[in-house]
Homo-oligomer: A and B are copies of this chain.
Amino acid sequence: MTRSIPLRRVAHPILWVDRERVERNIRCMAEKAERANVRLRPHFKTHQSSSIGEWFRPYGVDAITVSSFQMAEYFARHGWSDILVAFPFNVREIEAANRLAAAIDLHVLVGHAAAIDELATRLHSPVNVWIDIDTGYGRTGIPCESVQLIEELAQTIERSPLLKLVGLYGHAGDTYRAPGKERILQAYERTRVKLEALRAQLPRERYPQLLIATGDTPGCSLAPDLGGVDEVHPGNFVFYDLMQLHLGVCEPEDIGTVVVCPIVSIYNHRDELAIHGGAVHLSKESLVDESGLTIYGRAIRLQQNGWDPRDVIGEVVSVSQEVGIVRVSSDVLQNLAVGDLLGILPVHSCLAASALAEFRTVEGEPLDVLG
C-alpha cells in the first residue's frame, strides 16, 4: 500500500516532511519534558497524521491532545487510548463523546456550566474533565481570577458520577503576541504561575490530585526547564514554521516541512513567478517580515531528498485561491523553469498541514493523514 514516489512525479501541492528534523524536534521536546518530570501530551492538530504520531512512541508518549472529535476518532482508530480534546466542549457533539468515552480514556475541556450539565446528563461512560482557564490571553476559558466560579464548576463536575475532574488547563497563547525570547518566556511563566496560584486557592483536601497544564510551542521551546506544571501540550514544535522563526523560537534548520509547489509561469519582466499553491494550500496566514513586506511563505530550493535551510530564494508575496506569486531575484529566476518544483516554508505549518491531503517524507514515503 505504501509506495515511495520520487519528487519528479509530484504534480500538485503536497506537504513534504523531513523526518529526521521532525524526529529531532520530537526528541528534544520529549527529553526536556522528561528531565522536568512533566508529562508531554503533544497536540496532534499540527500534523493530523497517524504516521507522524508513531514517531512519538519511542519517547514514551502515550497521551495526546487534539482540537476536534473528528481528530480524536481518527487517532483512536490508530491506537491512541488517552486523548484530550482541547476545545471548549461542543454540547452538540455529545454522541461523538459517548462513542469515544466507551472506547478510550477521553479527556474534555469545559469552560461553561452548560457544557458540564450536558455531559453530566447525557454521558454513558466516564470522562476526564479539564477546566479551561483564561490566564490573560482572552481567547477561551474562565478568567483565573474568578475563583468562586471555578470552584462551583469543580463541584458540579465532582458531583457527577461519570465525570472526573483532572485538572486546570491554561493556553498561554499570548506568547504568540510577544516578540522576542524574553517576553515569550515572561508570558509563559505568567501563565504557569497563575495556574499554580489558582490551584493553591482551591481546597486541597477536596481536589488532592488536581493537575495543571499549559503548553504553547513558543513557551515550551524556549523554557530552559518545563518544571512547575504537570503536563505540557505543545503542537507546532513538530514542524515549526516561519512564524516561530520570526518570533525567535526556532532556527531555520528546525523547520521540518515545506509545501512542494510546481512553478506554473515565470514573469521575467517583474522578477516574479507563479506557483500552483495558493490560499487553499498555504492558508492566508501572513507575517510582516523585517523589511516590512507581508509574506505568505518563503520559497526554498529543493534537493532530491530534502532542502538546505539556508537556500531560501524568494518570498510568496500574494496568494489567490489556487495560485501563489513568488518574488525572486533576477539571477535566481534565470535558473528556474516552468515545471520546476519549489519548497514553500509555510508561515503557519498547522494550517498548511490541515489544508493538504497528501503528505510524503523527503524520501517519498506516503504518510497517513486525516482526510
Render A70-97 as a binary contact track against B, CB cut-off 8 A, 1 for contact.
Answer: 1000000000000000011111110110
- Which range contains the number of A residues in contact with the other chain? 35 or more
Within 8 Å of chain B (Cβ to Cβ): is A276? yes
Beta-carbon nearest neighbor of A91 in chain B: B339
Render A318-350 as a binary contact track against B, CB cut-off 8 A, 1 for contact.
Answer: 101111010000000000011100000000001
A12 to B323, CA, bound (A): 29
- With A90-B11, A90-B12, A143-B269 known to touch, is A321 a contact of B338 (CB < 8 Å)? no
A93 to B261, CA, bound (A): 12
A354 to B354, CA, bound (A): 13
Beta-carbon nearest neighbor of A45 in chain B: B321
Copy number in this complex? 2
- State which residues 140-191 of A face B: CB under 8 Å: 140, 143, 146, 173
Q: Evaluate contact between A320 and B139: CB separation under 8 angstroms.
A: yes
Q: Evaluate contact between B284 and A118: CB separation under 8 angstroms.
A: no
Partner of A265, one of B111, B173, B280: B111
A179 to B99, CA, bound (A): 50
- State which residues 34-86 of A face B: CB under 8 Å: 45, 67-68, 70
Within 8 Å of chain B (Cβ to Cβ): is A274? yes
A285 to B278, CA, bound (A): 13
Q: How far is the CB of A279 from the nearest CB of chain B, in Å?
A: 6
Q: Evaluate contact between B93 and A11: CB separation under 8 angstroms.
A: yes
Q: Evaluate contact between A266 and B87: CB separation under 8 angstroms.
A: no
A262 to B265, CA, bound (A): 42
Partner of A262, one of B90, B318, B323: B90
Partner of A284, one of B262, B276, B283: B283
Q: Evaluate contact between B321 and A264: CB separation under 8 angstroms.
A: no
- With A138-B270, A338-B114 known to touch, is A92 a contact of B11 (CB < 8 Å)? yes
Within 8 Å of chain B (Cβ to Cβ): is A223? no
Q: Evaluate contact between B140 and A274: CB separation under 8 angstroms.
A: yes
Partner of A321, one of B12, B132, B354: B354
A325 to B318, CA, bound (A): 26
For A247, list chain B residues within 8 Å (CB): none
Q: How far is the CB of A209 from the nearest CB of chain B, in Å?
A: 25
A321 to B45, CA, bound (A): 9
Q: How far is the CB of A352 from the nearest CB of chain B, in Å?
A: 11
Q: Which 8 pairs show the lowest CB-CB distances between chains A and B? A: A114-B338, A11-B92, A88-B264, A88-B265, A91-B339, A284-B284, A67-B322, A112-B265
* Residues in A lying within 8 Å of B, measured CB to CB: 10-12, 45, 67-68, 70, 87-93, 95-96, 111-112, 114-115, 118, 132, 138-140, 143, 146, 173, 262, 264-267, 269-270, 274, 276, 279-280, 283-285, 318, 320-323, 325, 337-339, 350-351, 354-355, 371
Cβ contacts A to B, 11 pairs, < 8 Å: A11-B96, A68-B322, A90-B264, A90-B276, A111-B265, A112-B264, A139-B318, A140-B265, A280-B351, A284-B284, A321-B351
